[in-house]
Structures are given as structure tokens and as C-alpha cells.
Structure 1
């Protein structure tokens, strides 16, 4: 099946699911509607998209340097924002499982500024994944040395410069000075890394992306194709 055909099939299936949800409204009243797709709430460990009081709660543990996470961002994020989050029945929290300094650098930049900006910052970094991850793979020994030595902020700035993260953040309206201010926030870097370690211990996470649905880790579920039917069943 071609990518276009697969996407069309997924959209049609999601649309059918949305119609079915609407048809059962009398049996399961939906929460009061709001502009849920644009609602972003900062949590203790990440950012929550959608109705904070939704009965169905999905958490994704992701890494910016994970190719499967980039696949999920491309295949699942749009569907969640179009068909699931707007109903108010489900919210979606994005949390970080930090694997390396590049990952932490990207996480710091997506957290930069008002929490409401996170969703689009996240989308901007993930949409450019193929380009910047290739630069990371081809990094010279000199570049890698700059990423490993010096102050934390100097390391993060070197990574951001070498992988075009500054350019990505410029498309989001951030100046280099603003981006550097976020990259110099060592307390935030420690907080993100500490939360990541705590989540790994709490849920026994083995890789990324991993999903927790209503408090339960979904074993063997690491892609949109496997996650979607479980969401439909829960809703």
C-alpha cells in the first residue's frame, strides 16, 4: 500500500470512529466542549494537550533522537489532534525519556517560553528530524568534542548550532538570544533529566515511544498502528 493510500485509509477509519462516537453521545455524554486542540497545560513531568479533565488519559514517553518517535509524530500526532483530543474525551501528555545530550538539547528548546508554545515547538523539531539527525550522524570528531566538554550551556549551544536547532527555533519566532537563555537553564535541564529517570523507574520503560493509557503501560505498543485500536476501545 502506498503512503498516500495508507494515510487515506487511516483518515477514513478515524472519521468513521468519530461518527460512531457522536452516535453514542446519549449513552456516554461528552465533557463540555472547548477549544481542546489548542489547550496546552504544563504538568509536573511534561505537557498535556486537550481537556485536563478528560476521562481517557494517554501519556507518550518519547525521545527526540528516536526514529520511531519521529514516525509516531508523523503518523499519530495529527490524528490525535484532529479526531481524539477535540472531543474532550481524551487528553494526551508528552513526556521525555532522555537518551543523550542531543535529546536533552532539543527538549530544552521545546520547553522554551510560554508552556502554550510547547506543542508547536515540539512539532517544529520533529518535522525537521530527518535533516538534523543526519547531521548528528555525520558529526565530526571536533563537533562531538564540543558537545562533550565545557559548561553545560556551551555544550547545548554547540549542539544547537551544529544541528540547525537555532534555525528551527527562528521559524517559531525565537531569537538566538532567547534560545540561548533557555539552553543556559541548567536547573531545567536537571529537572527534565531527573523526571525522565523517575518515569523509567516508575513504569519500567524499556524504549521509546512508550505509551501509558489510563495509568497502565501498554506492553508491545510503540507505533500508531498498534495504539489506535486501543484508544478506540478505551473511548
Structure 2
């Protein structure tokens, strides 16, 4: 009887140990889920992170906005590394289109697999000073190409003169792929319409602007102002 009793106790201990290991494994799997690597395309941008996050942050930005470039340097990485991985915050980048340069850049960031968006976005946003300078040095003949011809041809001229082709080719795109994206009139119209709809819906007046859980954050236009608001919601 003693031998059988000890056998049952040993079996129970083994069962408990296996159950504990299973729980550890489940926890490890949860920790291994890095939501910062999850990205899906929306109608006017891309959402990064857990779609069921309790805090849903949306940034409305413009590629020709210097303050947006500042935020990309100061806040973008901080959000992706410090807030998204655990899944309690999601971060959506949406476009507020101010001019043909914005639309050209937005079409290029949307080009190809949605998983490429974050890299495309950073490549254009963080090199803003360089392509601004190229824009300042363009000739009148170059600038005339931005205003005549089909919409697609105008965007191709802008992409060429500001160095966007070279920038994106360095990211692995072919000229043919980029031309397809730049001349995608349906996509261009969809982005423009969604941008205008966002302006009207939220009363957006500048960039960057932020909406959290459906509410526009009044007076919040940089990382220093956004960070404490995010921290309160965690």
C-alpha cells in the first residue's frame, strides 16, 4: 500500500510540474508576442500594434511638416519600443495631405507590402532636410514639370527631383514598382478623400495632431506633451 501511495504522490507531483511548465510556456509565448512588429494598412495610413489595445493612439502627420519630422525623431521610436510591445497601446499613422509633395511621399510609403510601411515612412520622414534642400535647388523648368501633365507624371517628376526614387530604390524597390505606386490614381484619390474626411471629423488644424481613443488631444503637438498623456493611460 505504501508503494502505491508513493506512486500516486509521485504521479501527482509530475503532473503538477508539467502543468507549471505549461503555464510558463504560455507566459513565454505571450511575452514573445511583440506587438510592435504587427502592422496593418488602414484607409489613410497604417496601424502598428495590438488591434485590441485599450489605448488607441492616432497621429495625423504631413511629410512636409518640420514638426512632424521632429516627432518622428523623438517620439516614433519611443512609442514603438516602450509602449507597443506589450499590447496595451496601438499606434496608427495617418496622412494629413497638404500639397502634391505630401501625396507623392504618402503613395511611396504605402508602396508594396504593408510591413514595409514603417521603414518607408522613416526613410522619407527622417531625410526631410535633405529633400527639402533638393527642392530649394530645383530650377524653374523642374518646377514646371510638377504642374503640367497627368497627375501621375507630376508625382513622378516630384519623386525624381526630390530624390525619392533613389531613396526608395535603396530600400529594395525597382523603378517600375515605384512608378506603379506613383501613378495609382485610385489610391491617390482614396488617400486624399480620407485625409479630408479626417480633417472634418476631428477638426484638425495642424500637424502633428493626435487622437486617443477617438478624442482629439487639444494642445498636444509634440512628444514632450504626448508622453505624459500616454503614461496616464498605461
Fold conserved between structures, TM > 0.5: yes
Structure 1 residue 42: Cα displacement: 1.1
| Larger Rg over CA atoms | 2
Moved over 2 A (4+): 137-140
Structure 1 residue 33: Cα displacement: 6.0
Contact 2:41 2:114 in 1 (8 A): yes
Structure 1 residue 209: Cα displacement: 0.4
Q: Which runs of 5+ in 1 are unaligned?
A: 1-30
Q: What does 1:3-152 align with in structure 2 at a 5 Å threshold?
A: 34-152=33-151
1:232 and 2:228 equivalent? no
Contact 1:40 1:116 in 2 (8 A): yes
Contact 2:34 2:86 in 1 (8 A): no
Cα deviation per residue 1:144-180 (whole Å; 9 max; x = unaligned)?
2101110011101000000000111012100111101
> Which whole-Å CA distance do the structure 2 matches of 1:228 and 1:139 have between them?
38
> Which whole-Å CA distance do the structure 2 matches of 1:224 and 1:79 have between them?
9
Q: Which runs of 5+ in 2 are unaligned?
A: 1-29
> Which whole-Å CA distance do the structure 1 matches of 2:138 and 2:83 have between them?
39
- SS of equivalent to 2:190: helix
Task: Count residues with an aligned counterpart.
Answer: 205
> Which whole-Å CA distance do the structure 1 matches of 2:180 and 2:118 have between them?
20
Structure 1 residue 43: Cα displacement: 1.6
> Which whole-Å CA distance do the structure 1 matches of 2:186 and 2:195 have between them?
14
> Which whole-Å CA distance do the structure 2 matches of 1:210 and 1:187 have between them?
26
> Which whole-Å CA distance do the structure 2 matches of 1:74 and 1:119 have between them?
13
Q: How big is the alpha-carbon RMSD for the aligned residues of Structure 1 and Structure 2?
A: 1.2
Contact 1:60 1:92 in 2 (8 A): yes
> Which whole-Å CA distance do the structure 2 matches of 1:135 and 1:63 have between them?
18
1:156 and 2:155 equivalent? yes
Aligned position for 2:171: 172
Aligned position for 1:28: none
Aligned position for 2:4: none
* TM-score for both structures, normalised by structure 1: 0.85
Structure 1 residue 138: Cα displacement: 3.2
Contact 1:32 1:88 in 2 (8 A): no
> Which whole-Å CA distance do the structure 2 matches of 1:52 and 1:115 have between them?
15
Contact 2:67 2:207 in 1 (8 A): yes
Contact 1:65 1:102 in 2 (8 A): yes
> Which whole-Å CA distance do the structure 2 matches of 1:48 and 1:164 have between them?
27
* TM-score for both structures, normalised by structure 2: 0.85
C-alpha change, 1:206 and 1:101, in structure 2 (3 Å) is same
Cα deviation per residue 1:71-117 (whole Å; 9 max; x = unaligned)?
00000011011100111100000000000001100000000001111
1:216 and 2:215 equivalent? yes
Contact 1:63 1:96 in 2 (8 A): yes
